[in-house]
Amino acid sequence: MIIIGERVNATRKRIRTAIQQKDTVTIKDEIVMQDMAGAHYIDLNAGTGSGVIQQEKDDLCWLIDIALECTEKNLVLDAAGPEILQAAAKHLDDRRPWMLNSINGELSSRSMEIIELASKYQVPLIALAMDKKGIPPETDKRLAICEAILNEVRKRGLSEELIFFDPLVIPIATDTNQALVTFKTIERINELFPQVKTTLGLTNISHGLKKRFFVNGAFLTTAVCFGLHSAILDPTQKSIQQSVIMGNLLAGKDKFCRKFSRAIRVGLFEEEER
């Protein structure tokens, strides 16, 4: 299970303020916490909403420099504009393995530029199962979008093994069937496109509900059982760590239950058996 740490994202007020004030300590703390919690990738998003492209380029490069200093984990370059991602990729200059986040099925000139950037460097690329109409509520339509994206990726020379399809998550409070739709989409992506990987942003499933961590944890464990390869989440949450362990265990991905047993020994599952 590939964990992508989501905490260094300028949509969070704490991170946005830290970027604007060039608060290195706060950013470093966020990165190190996720590193120690087991993240494999650290997502870096500097979109503070300033509307100034050069500022976002500079801010993302600043985040990269901090990450290179305080962690050895791989990085995810996360930005809306291809020019920002291009500047960040050039600045990173292959000093660390990295991933691009993201494109969608609209396949606009923006998406094409990002695909070509991923192909140039042969790095992983997250692709969202949505188009200009939004997120389809049905599995089949999401799969059709994935297939269209994959065709464009092949044309531009990016290896299929580097694609991470995000089947997307519509809040279950909006439509109680949507968790099942996402699970089925993960399963079908794995069947139809066995060379690619799957990922998803976890917390949208519980939007609008109370006790969200219960919903997030159950959803993540089940998604792993349906074949999810990766997730974008907060790895510092104990409930998330438990859900990853349980998902791998129940999906048959924990040989001899070793990871589960190790987690018990280190106190991750504190509750006494009943």
- In whole angstroms, what is the distance from residue 246 CA to residue 225 CA? 9
Reported as a single tens digit per residue, the pLDDT across 258-272 is: 999 999 999 999 864
Please report, for residues 11, 176, 204, the alpha-carbon distance to residue 139 in angstroms, rounded to integers and kept in the order given: 29, 15, 18
pLDDT tens per residue across span 2-61: 999 999 999 999 999 999 999 999 999 999 999 999 999 999 999 988 889 999 999 999
Neighbours of 213 (CB within 10 A): 15
Distance CA 89, CA 82 (A): 10
Structure confidence at residue 274 as a pLDDT band (50, 70, 90): very low
Determine the 3-state secondary structure of 234 from DSSP: coil
Mean pLDDT (whole number) for 61-80: 97
Q: Where are the alpha helices (DSSP H) in the chain?
A: 13-21, 24-36, 53-70, 82-92, 109-121, 139-155, 178-192, 212-225, 238-250, 258-265
Average pLDDT value for residue range 173-186: 96
- Note the pTM of the prediction, 2 decimals: 0.95
The answer to whether 75 and 92 are in contact (CB under 8 A) is yes
Residue 128 in contact with residue 102, Cβ under 8 Å? yes
- Which residues is 126 bridged to in the sheet? 101, 164
- DSSP code at position 254: S
Show the domains of the chain with their CATH numbers: 2-265 (3.20.20.20)
**Would you call the peptide bond into 261 cis, given omega within 30 degrees of 0 as the criterion?**
no
pLDDT in tens, 197-247: 999 999 999 999 999 999 999 999 999 999 999 999 999 999 999 999 999
